[in-house]
Amino acid sequence: MKKKQALPRVGFLGTGWIGRHRMQAIAESGEAEVAAIADVCAENAQEAAKLVPGGSVVDSLDALLDLGLDAVVIATPSAGHCSQAVRALQRGLAVFCQKPLGRSVHEAQMVVDAARAANRLLGVDFSYRYTDAVQKMYQLVASGDLGQVYAADLVFHNAYGPDKAWSYDAELSGGGCLMDLGSHLVDLALWFFGYPEIRSVSSSIFSGGERLKGGSGKVEDYAVVSLVLGNGNAVRLACSWNVSAGRDAVIESNFYGTRGGVSFRNVQGSFYDFVAERFRGTAAETIAVPPDSWGGRCAVAWARQLRVAGGVFDPQAEKLVQVAAVLDAAYGR
């Protein structure tokens, strides 16, 4: 009888709400073993430990790295992502990180370089890609059914702002709503268009209704970004915190082609429920509806790749640098 292959042993650094959610998704998927937990907040660690009885609870990344794990999932404040990911990669662990991978293109490049040098798998939790709605839209675009897709409009307006003080410190967060919400939009736009050359990036960034200038030290609560791609195609992005949107959130992505369009949008202000439609002139056809348990799919896909392919470097990680480069250009840095 063939011996059953052992599952990859994964540690979790940071077990707030999103860290616990991703941990539970990976544990329930059966793609990896949740072997250890580390969090500076003892309460978070205790709550996480209830979900995976038998996992070790330690107090630091150093302690995680000494456990002989195969990989680590990082769900800590943004300021630590680069250094924590690099340290883990240099110790031979694969990494799955919450966005942003780095607070700048320089930090993102450092992590990707470390992953390549160590030949270890690197993933970032761009979770909206894995909604059923976005997957079906992407298939239509990639198949050519919409003709030449030449323009896109994407928005993410949030009636609330983050509840963590570090999110409002530019040094710790790397930016405001554009880094927090807009990074998802940039990722979707570049992915749909096949990571094209970027001809130009322009932006208008606000805080409290006033235009921000570089070096102000403030983080933005409203941003509009325009991209012109190498072939002349156009992308417009807008995102905000604490906006008066008349609902909890407005999340939408529209892609327009010469033979039709597709649209992804949230339902009645929901952060979790989405529909997708295909457009032909004035006619609309619904192609995806809720419910859809999508939140942990990106993490599970990474864990599956870790198990099946052994956690070796995936060149797709190079694309993460382009996302960071667009954000840097939008910030004017």
For the chain, domain boundaries: 9-127+296-316, 132-293
Task: Please check whether the two domains, 9-127+296-316 and 132-293, share a CATH topology.
Answer: no
Sign for the pseudo-dihedral over CA of 208, 214, 216, 219: positive
pLDDT of residue 54: 82
pLDDT of residue 1: 45
pLDDT of residue 4: 59
Question: What are the CA-CA distances from residue 67 to residues 13, 35, 71, 91, 275 (Å)?
Answer: 13, 9, 11, 11, 43
pLDDT of residue 330: 97
Q: Assign 276 to helix, strand or coil.
A: strand
**Domain 9-127+296-316 belongs to what architecture?**
3-Layer(aba) Sandwich (3.40)
310: closest CA among 114, 97, 68, 119?
119
Cα 269 to Cα 272: distance, rounded to the nearest angstrom: 9
Q: Whole-structure pTM over 0.85, yes or no? A: yes
Cα 19 to Cα 81: distance, rounded to the nearest angstrom: 13
The CATH number of 132-293, from 1.10.150.20, 3.20.20.20, 3.30.360.10, 2.40.50.140, is 3.30.360.10
What parts of the chain have a pLDDT lower than 70? Answer: 1-4, 215
